[in-house]
Amino acid sequence: MSEIADRYRRRADAFERKVVSVRPDQWSHPSPCAKWTARDVVRHIVDMHAVMLRPLGRSLSPAPTVDDDPVAAFRAARADVEATLDDPALATLPCDTPTGTMPAQQHIDQVVSDDLPLHGWDLARATSQDDTIDPEDVERAWSAMRALPAELMDKFRTPGAFGPGIEVFGPEMQVEQDASAQDKLLAFIGRDPRWRP
């Protein structure tokens, strides 16, 4: 198993545990993402799995919708992405992405895999679960964010820059100088670490 596939599985496992732990009455709870409920957070993640497959000429396998069964919808979507990562021919296939051409596995690693810990925080915070992000993922994301050129970061913060209705990051929030690494990362991407439902 490649390092990318292993990292994706670890993050998907953590996200799935949160999805499974949501009580039926919590799916309509607001999330730290403005305009999104807890269910919408899972819907976004499932939709992004479909986006990862599109450059390969593939789509998600038939499965229950997020409205009908969020757990089954996520499990089916992750199975499709894992099958891609486990197939060397597919994993290394060059894909055209908004940030350039790269192998499919790198696209998955930089987009949906990196999204899982951050949106896992959103889902956990919306549904009163443990919202601790794996310190390894915090450090990895923080290093990657700080290495982004300013013009690309500006594009990430511009609503619609990657398509209608797509907003990658919000405006940077202010946190205390001695805030935790997790809180600094969340603030950098536009989340309020103090947000509560």
pLDDT of 193 higher than 70: yes
Let me know: does 156 contact 141? Beta carbons within 8 Å.
no
pLDDT of 119 higher than 60: yes
Which of 117, 140, 132, 131 lies closest to 15 in space, CA to CA? 117
pLDDT of 1 higher than 60: no
How large is the average pLDDT for residues 8-24? 98
Let me know: does 156 contact 166? Beta carbons within 8 Å.
no
**Confidence grade of residue 88 (pLDDT, cut at 50, 70, 90):** very high
**Distances, alpha carbon 82 to alpha carbons 10, 27, 32, 105, in Å:** 11, 26, 28, 10
Higher pLDDT, 171 or 46: 46
How large is the average pLDDT for residues 91-97? 93
Degrees, nearest 5: CA angle 73-75-79? 120
How large is the average pLDDT for residues 17-30? 98
Q: What percent of the chain has pLDDT over 90?
A: 77
Q: What is the pLDDT of residue 155?
A: 79
Residue boundaries of the structural domains of the chain: 1-131, 134-197
In the CATH scheme, what is the code of domain 1-131? 1.20.120.450
Let me know: does 196 contact 125? Beta carbons within 8 Å.
yes
How large is the average pLDDT for residues 139-158? 84
**Distances, alpha carbon 39 to alpha carbons 34, 64, 113, 116, 153, in Å:** 13, 14, 19, 14, 28
- The residues pairing with 97 across neighbouring beta strands, listed in sequence order, are 100
**For 154-170, what is each residue's pLDDT tens digit?**
877 877 666 666 677 88
Q: What is the pLDDT of residue 98?
A: 78
pLDDT of 112 higher than 60: yes
How large is the average pLDDT for residues 49-65? 95
Q: What is the pLDDT of residue 172?
A: 85
Q: What is the pLDDT of residue 109?
A: 96
When mean pLDDT is compared across 2-6, 95-99, 117-121, 140-144, the lowest value belongs to 95-99
In angstroms, the CA 66 to CA 88 distance is: 29
In angstroms, the CA 85 to CA 68 distance is: 27
- Label residue 3 exposed, middle or buried (CB < 10 Å: 0-12, 13-18, 19+): exposed
